[in-house]
Amino acid sequence: MSDTLFDGKVFVLTLPSQPGVYRMLNATGDVIYVGKAINLQKRVASYFRTSNLSPRIRLMVSQIAGIETTITRSEAEALLLENNLIKSLKPRFNILFRDDKSYPYLLLTNHAFPRLAFYRGALDDKHQYFGPFPNAGVVKSSIQLLQKVFRLRTCENSVFNNRTRPCLLYQIKRCSAPCVQFISAEAYQEDVNNAALFLQGKQSEVLKMIEQKMLDASDQQVYEQAALFRDQMQALRKIQEKQFVDSGKAVDADVIACVAGKDGRSVAINLVMIRNGQHLGDKTFFPQNVHQDTVNAVLEAFVSQHYLNRSVPPVIYLSRKIRTALLQKLLTEQAAHKVTLTINPTGERRKWLDMATKNAQLALQQKLIQQASQEDRLHALQEVLNLPTLSRIECFDISHTMGEATIASCVVYDQLAMRKGEYRRYNISGITPGDDYAAMRDALHRRYEKIAREEGKQPDLILIDGGKGQISSATDIMVELGLNHIPLVGVAKGETRKPGLEQLILPWQAAPLHLPDDHPALHLIQQIRDEAHRFAIQGHRAKRAKTRRTSTLEQIAGIGSKRRQNLLTRFGGLKGVKNASIEELQRTKGISQALAEKIYRELR
């Protein structure tokens, strides 16, 4: 950016009186705010000609070193562009909702024997989709219920096509084993149809059909089959009893309630999803960069950002009044069906909204309590270590099995929470297997060489999962990088390795520091250290599994990449190959009897 002082009043004279988007930039060229306007000149001028700006806006205006604008054809197009830019740029003065993941669906595949599966991604017309659901847990629990009641398969096609005997799911009555023709295609399709009706909210219809089948089987004295239908009915009735919301109508709607804390800066938004008249679950969002914004403004920002490039139900019920006309127009165009935003509904819908409001209030209360606890812990750690400031903490751990598949993890704690989006793993190679000191040096060098060039965020404290040797190695690297002013603390396990007996290794003092097992500073250290450990082990196990999966077969003489692929495809993975008989192995393309016998021996 130019060093010339920015004159906003002069700049606005160059702007057109047309719809568009404006981007406020600071002295380093970072976008600090994105806004939309039906009249760019009037909207931008309001920042420089009005004296009664809020403290947050005054602070933002004081940092403006430049403004960029984009003209659009309409205000609706400006709204769309604004929210795209907010999601991609994440300006510090915009209200942000960090929920970029697509919602999960439950999938029934287009197959002779359809598969029941979890799905996240773009939808197509080939398969049946049910949802969206507010989180993955709801989908997985639904799959378990449907397996129990309708016994649909969940295995991949590669496994299904190559089974020669039923799997464990058949034994525990969670699958009807269509892979080995234990059920006819017609009977299986009936179960699929009933599952689809159930997911569409037509449980009563499904119950009547199953009841009739039970009676027919009983009349024909096929009592085992009648008992199976009876069990299905009992399971379905239990599910019906647990259903919390059922409007009796096939309504698709979202219910959104927004509540604020007493401080005016804490806001929670609860989203409830109603599909086919049934409550599919809810999810609570906590926006960032809320600085005395009105709750209505936060709610409007949520609706704008949340439904961008995402499926939209026909009706959205809102707890507070917002400007709906423009949003309705944009969402209707995006969804290709009419979308209505309804404020303060009545009747049954009012009960949904009251429930969402209570959920939001409870979630906000829990978050504030947790935040207060985190503040106490952070303040205690700052006092113990005598640090002038403490907000951002980064923690490292090393994981391997006898030197195999070494992984270093780095987790980040900032602004009173773990920041999973900033976690990093490092594949460690080129060192002596099992040399944890070398692994730590490598990870730290790769992590902080950019910060040494003044790129990225600098932590206020670095935690190292290890003792004096690890801290010594870490200190050498930080000195080499010119970052030895950043405090380092080693977290060494006690003699019995029990939580609460950790020793803190401080490079600036000879004796380790012992904190009482109930000390809030120790609790924060344990929380961050345990997360680094979990993240490292997760990465190590994945890397180790991948290494073993790709190398075990190819280590057998006569097995190259093609034969290995043929075996894995036929048996659905290495476990299937290990469990296969010599005769089954021999049926694989490219595998002779002699080679099948060799594979059988080598994998035992």
pLDDT value at residue 241: 45
The dihedral built from the CA positions of residue 134, 137, 139 and 142, taken in this order, carries a sign that is negative
| Distance between CA atoms of residues 263 and 122, nearest Å | 40
pLDDT average per 10 residues of sequence, the chain (604 residues): 66 89 90 92 86 81 90 85 86 78 83 91 82 79 82 89 87 90 91 82 72 77 73 62 48 90 83 80 84 78 83 90 87 87 85 89 86 91 94 95 89 92 92 90 94 89 93 93 93 70 87 90 94 94 72 75 82 80 88 88 77
pLDDT value at residue 90: 87
The structure's pTM equals 0.65
pLDDT value at residue 9: 84
- Cβ atoms of 252 and 313 within 8 Å: the answer is yes
Q: Which residues contact 423 (CB under 8 A, 6 or more apart)?
A: 409, 410, 411, 412, 535
pLDDT value at residue 2: 46
Phi and psi (nearest 5°) for 462?
Answer: -120, 125
Tokens linked to 83: 């929210």
pLDDT value at residue 244: 40
Q: Strands (DSSP E) along 276-392, which ranges?
A: 278-285, 315-318, 340-343
> What does DSSP say about strands 503-505 and 488-492: parallel, antiparallel, or unpaired?
antiparallel
- Domains plus CATH for the chain? 8-89 (3.40.1440.10), 107-242 (no CATH), 253-366 (3.30.420.10), 393-544 (3.30.420.340), 552-602 (1.10.150.20)
Q: How far is CA 31 from CA 34, 63, 94, 415, in A?
A: 7, 11, 10, 21
| Distance between CA atoms of residues 69 and 14, nearest Å | 11
- Cβ atoms of 24 and 67 within 8 Å: the answer is yes
Q: Which residues contact 235 (CB under 8 A, 6 or more apart)?
A: 145, 148, 149
- Cβ atoms of 504 and 493 within 8 Å: the answer is no
Look at the chain and count its residues: 604
pLDDT value at residue 458: 93
